[in-house]
Chain A
Amino acid sequence: KQEVTQIPAALSVPEGENLVLNCSFTDSAIYNLQWFRQDPGKGLTSLLLIQSSQREQTSGRLNASLDKSSGRSTLYIAASQPGDSATYLCAVWGYGQNFVFGPGTRLSVLP
């Protein structure tokens, strides 16, 4: 059974810092991995989708990498802003499965 973990569970940084969020999964047989953002009391918004054949995806200040063999993905946020404060979740889609979600990392960017 696929298990997804995220480290750290919470992170607080001053504005302007570059930061890395980590996602680990136990079964490397995946179709893709997706990063989401969730604001308090809101739904999930898709940030980046990385197919299993890709190594990374970029969108603006966000860069996500995927290393299937080691079961890891990282989300890099450059020049963080207070508006980046949210919970970030990763989810993997494995063979014969639906998306399995990690518990999320709660990010606070302090002005």
Chain B
Amino acid sequence: NAGVTQTPKFQVLKTGQSMTLQCAQDMNHNSMYWYRQDPGMGLRLIYYSASEGTTDKGEVPNGYNVSRLNKREFSLRLESAAPSQTSVYFCASSPGANVLTFGAGSRLTVL
């Protein structure tokens, strides 16, 4: 099983450019999440989807949008990237209030 797959692994953007981070899971999990990890800040929740067709804001949603395309896929879009969005982004999935399974991460640099 692949588990949680994120693409791309690395990306460099210029300020104002847009991009989409893709995430797919093959574990038939209902819930999917997007986190960002910054030095000294720990992991912070950006958006989550408790089930197919629903999305909700997390702790730091400003500047991001998400789409739960189907049960497998949950994408994160940056419409107009800013240097403050330089971070490592992690996608995770869970069958519910249970074990979180993470992807390998996507390292984004905004110049």
Name A's B-contacting residues (CB within 8 A): 31-32, 34, 36, 41-46, 49, 89, 91, 93, 98-99, 101-104
A41 to B90, CA, bound (A): 12
Query: What residues of B have a CB within 8 angstroms of the CB of A43 in the complex?
Result: 90, 102-105
Interface segment, one of B11-19, B38-46, B64-72, B77-85: B38-46
Across the interface, do B99 and A104 meet the contact criterion of CB distance under 8 Å? no
The interface size of chain B toward A, counting residues with CB under 8 Å, comes to 19
| Extra pairs beyond A43-B102, A91-B43, A91-B100 (20, CB < 8 Å) | A32-B98, A36-B100, A43-B103, A43-B104, A44-B43, A45-B102, A46-B101, A49-B98, A89-B43, A93-B97, A98-B33, A98-B48, A98-B58, A99-B33, A99-B45, A101-B42, A101-B43, A102-B42, A103-B40, A103-B42
A46 to B48, CA, bound (A): 19
Least Cβ distance of A26 to chain B in Å?
15
Given contacts A98-B33, A98-B58, A104-B42, whether A42 and B99 have CB atoms under 8 Å apart is: no
Mostly, the A contact residues are: strand
Query: What residues of A have a CB within 8 angstroms of the CB of B102 in the complex?
Result: 36, 43-45
A44 to B94, CA, bound (A): 14
Type the 1/0 row for B15-47, where 1 means its CB is closer than 8 Å to any CB of A: 000000000000000000100000011110100
